[in-house]
Amino acid sequence: MLRYTLMRLGIFVGCLGVVWGLVYSGIAPRGLGDSNYMWVVLLALVISAPISFVVLRGERDRASAQVVARVDRAKANLERNRNQEDAVVAQAESADSARGQAS
């Protein structure tokens, strides 16, 4: 998961550098007034998103599989804890009913 995030950040930084160069060389338009930095960052985000979607498909699938495995482990742990709790409650109930029958 961290690898995917770092790769995506790297693509964004690369796009940011390219867009910055294009804007300051005059090839891409500048933002209005003081909004130039915001324009460069937003344009880099818009360009890097589809690139990341296509280029990092395999890495995204691996990260997704890791997340699914973690969720499955958490569900299994929750179910195991729930079963242990049910067993304790059932044991307590059977002990109470045995005491009630003995009286």
| Per-residue CA distances from 81 to 68, 86, 92 (Å) | 20, 9, 17
- What is the average pLDDT value for the chain, to the nearest integer? 87
State the Cα–Cα distance between residues 6 and 8, nearest whole angstrom: 5
Per-residue pLDDT, 100: 67
Q: Is the full-model pTM beyond 0.75?
A: no
Say if residues 15 and 44 touch (Cβ distance below 8 Å).
Answer: yes
For residues 59 and 3, the answer to whether their CB atoms sit within 8 Å is: yes
- Predicted pLDDT at 102: 62
The confidence score (pLDDT) of residue 24 equals 87
pLDDT one-digit tens code per residue, 26-71: 888 887 777 788 989 999 999 999 999 999 999 989 989 999 999 9
**What does each C-alpha distance from 97 to 70, 85, 92, 101 come to in angstroms?**
40, 18, 9, 6
